[in-house]
């Protein structure tokens, strides 16, 4: 049906958002905002009239060739209309301390690459703090090493990645020059058997990666919230806002289910590009979710996250010891 929409996707060629009709997603590029084309632009790509990857994208800089697309059909707009009617109560934003939100540098032997965002939380079993992020933040490593951790691969165990990652450098994103503000490292990627990438948005409950923080790291852990926020509760996305001293964008919870955690941002014109892995926090600064993706519908901006209940379920599945981080 031509009126089906993809609110979580933007055509990187013509800029259509949401994409209406079929969406063509590149399975060769790393997961992110630069791998979707609308049907018309994909046809133009096949004719050689549209560039893919987008010239300014990370995939283009990596020089990838041989891109393979899959077709996605979309959902009816009726699915999203109730989200527009949830009221937002204005309230004061929580303080976001230095050294809580970090930029991770994933190191694999002599190779390394930077992810978008991660953050540090206290362990709930008296172990060292944990670095949490979205698993798809590591997608360049995942695809570069030929690892299939999608939901379709039932043989994936969660042990494939921890054996590859040497450690994770942690940088303070709020420092004046974050690349010179290394805080230490995280080691020992936890084995999370249920973690997966590539599920149809906004299913975010499997998109998680966790690491033990070295005891010498100079970080400021927050805590996981006791409960998942309710419909209508305010939350904030914490990330580095360019050319601004502010550290958050306000949002309101518009849906929580066993598998979804959806928020609508208060100001549709405030954007948080490339903020996957950043924390969503409540009015007390406790973590309620891991940011996974963003979208646009009805003139409003939305986000979806891996909620705190799901985070706890995954961390309970780990078989990694947490007491001997370096």
Helix (H) or strand (E) holding 106: strand 101-108
Whether residue 31 is contained in a domain is answered as yes
Task: Look at residue 319 in the predicted model and tell me its pLDDT.
Answer: 54
In total, how many domains does the chain have?
Answer: 3
pLDDT tens for each residue of 154-204: 999 999 999 899 999 999 999 989 999 999 999 899 999 999 998 888 999
67 and 130 in a single domain? The answer is no
254 and 140 in a single domain? The answer is no
- The answer, yes or no, to whether residue 63 has pLDDT greater than 80, is no
Q: Which residues have CB under 8 Å from 153's CB, separation 6+?
A: none
pTM (2 decimals)? 0.88
CA distance 260 to 70: 23
3-state secondary structure at position 75: strand
Q: How many residues does the chain have?
A: 326
Q: Tell me the CATH number at 229.
A: 2.40.10.10
Whether residue 322 is contained in a domain is answered as no
- The answer, yes or no, to whether residue 209 has pLDDT greater than 70, is yes
pLDDT tens for each residue of 241-284: 877 788 999 999 999 999 999 999 999 888 888 899 999 999 99
Sheet with 23-26, side-by-side order of all strands? 36-38, 23-26, 69-72
299 and 228 in a single domain? The answer is yes
CA distance 27 to 231: 34
Range of the domain at 23: 5-79
Q: Which residues have CB under 8 Å from 144's CB, separation 6+?
A: none
CA-closest candidate to residue 208, choices 190, 220, 225, 222: 190
123 and 218 in a single domain? The answer is yes
Task: Look at residue 291 in the predicted model and tell me its pLDDT.
Answer: 98
254 and 191 in a single domain? The answer is no
Question: Which two three-digit tokens encode residue 227?
Answer: 């409960």
Q: Tell me the CATH number at 211.
A: 2.40.10
Whether residue 233 is contained in a domain is answered as yes
């Amino acid at each position: 049906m031509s009126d089906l929409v993809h609110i979580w996707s933007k055509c990187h060629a013509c800029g259509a958002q949401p994409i209406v009709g079929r969406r063509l997603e590149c399975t060769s590029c790393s997961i992110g905002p630069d791998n979707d084309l609308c049907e018309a632009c994909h046809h133009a790509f096949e004719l050689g009239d549209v560039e893919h990857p987008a010239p300014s994208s990370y995939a283009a800089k990596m020089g990838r060739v041989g891109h393979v697309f899959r077709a996605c059909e979309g959902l009816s707009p009726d699915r999203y209309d109730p989200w527009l009617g949830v009221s937002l109560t204005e309230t004061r934003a929580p303080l976001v301390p230095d050294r809580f939100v970090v930029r991770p540098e994933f190191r694999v032997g002599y190779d390394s690459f930077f992810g978008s965002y991660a953050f540090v939380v206290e362990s709930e079993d008296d172990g060292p703090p944990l670095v949490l992020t979205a698993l798809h933040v590591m997608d360049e490593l995942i695809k570069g090493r030929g690892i299939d951790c999608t939901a379709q691969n039932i043989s994936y165990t969660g042990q494939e990645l921890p054996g590859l990652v040497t450690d994770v450098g942690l940088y303070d994103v709020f420092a004046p020059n974050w690349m010179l503000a290394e805080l230490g490292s995280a080691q020992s990627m936890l084995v999370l058997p249920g973690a997966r990438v590539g599920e149809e948005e906004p299913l975010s409950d499997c998109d998680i990666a966790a690491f033990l923080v070295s005891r010498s790291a100079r970080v400021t852990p927050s805590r996981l919230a006791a409960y998942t926020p309710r419909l209508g509760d305010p939350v904030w996305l914490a990330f580095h806002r360019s050319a601004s001293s502010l550290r958050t964008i306000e949002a309101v919870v518009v849906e929580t289910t066993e598998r979804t955690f959806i928020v609508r941002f208060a100001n549709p014109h405030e954007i948080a590009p490339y903020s996957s892995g950043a924390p969503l926090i409540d009015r007390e600064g406790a973590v309620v979710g891991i940011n996974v993706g963003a979208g646009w519908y009805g003139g409003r901006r939305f986000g979806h996250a891996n909620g705190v209940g799901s985070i706890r379920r995954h961390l309970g599945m780990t078989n990694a010891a947490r007491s001997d981080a370096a």
